[in-house]
Amino acid sequence: MRMTLVNVLIVLMSLVTGPEKVAAQQQTAPPPSKFKMMTVYDDEDWIPLQYTCGVTDGSSPRLQWSDAPQGTMSFALIFHDTDAAPAKGAMDVTHWILWNIPASARQLPASVQPNTSPDGIQQGKNVRGVNGYQPPCPPVGARPHHYIFELYALDAKLNLPAGSSRADLSNAMDGHVIGKASFVGIFGEGIDDKTWRWGITKLP
pLDDT of residue 25: 42
Residue 130 pLDDT greater than 70, yes or no: yes
Q: What domain range is 4 assigned to?
A: 1-30
**Mean pLDDT for the chain overall:** 84
| Ordered alpha helix ranges (H), the chain | 2-28, 166-173
**How far is it, in rounded angstroms, from Cα 155 to Cα 100?**
11
Examine the domain organization and report whether 6 and 61 are in the same domain: no
Examine the domain organization and report whether 102 and 169 are in the same domain: yes
Whether residue 177 is contained in a domain is answered as yes
Reported as a single tens digit per residue, the pLDDT across 76-125 is 999 999 887 655 556 799 999 999 999 999 999 999 999 999 999 999 99
Examine the domain organization and report whether 12 and 111 are in the same domain: no
Examine the domain organization and report whether 140 and 40 are in the same domain: yes
Q: How confident is the model at residue 49 (pLDDT cuts 50, 70, 90)?
A: very high
Question: Comparing 9 with 175, which gets the higher pLDDT?
Answer: 175
What CATH number did the domain enclosing 133 receive?
3.90.280.10
Cα–Cα nearest to 120, from 157, 167, 168 = 157
Examine the domain organization and report whether 1 and 86 are in the same domain: no
Examine the domain organization and report whether 26 and 113 are in the same domain: no
Residue 167 pLDDT greater than 60, yes or no: yes
Residue 34 · residue 67 · CB < 8 Å = yes
pLDDT of residue 190: 73
Question: Taking the model in full, what pTM does it have?
Answer: 0.79
Examine the domain organization and report whether 18 and 62 are in the same domain: no
**How far is it, in rounded angstroms, from Cα 151 to Cα 77?**
5
Residue 98 · residue 131 · CB < 8 Å = no
Question: Comparing 86 with 155, which gets the higher pLDDT?
Answer: 155
Residue 148 pLDDT greater than 70, yes or no: yes
Whether residue 203 is contained in a domain is answered as no
Examine the domain organization and report whether 12 and 45 are in the same domain: no
CA dihedral 119, 182, 195, 49 (to 10 degrees): 10
Whether residue 194 is contained in a domain is answered as no
pLDDT of residue 87: 55
Residue 19 pLDDT greater than 90, yes or no: no
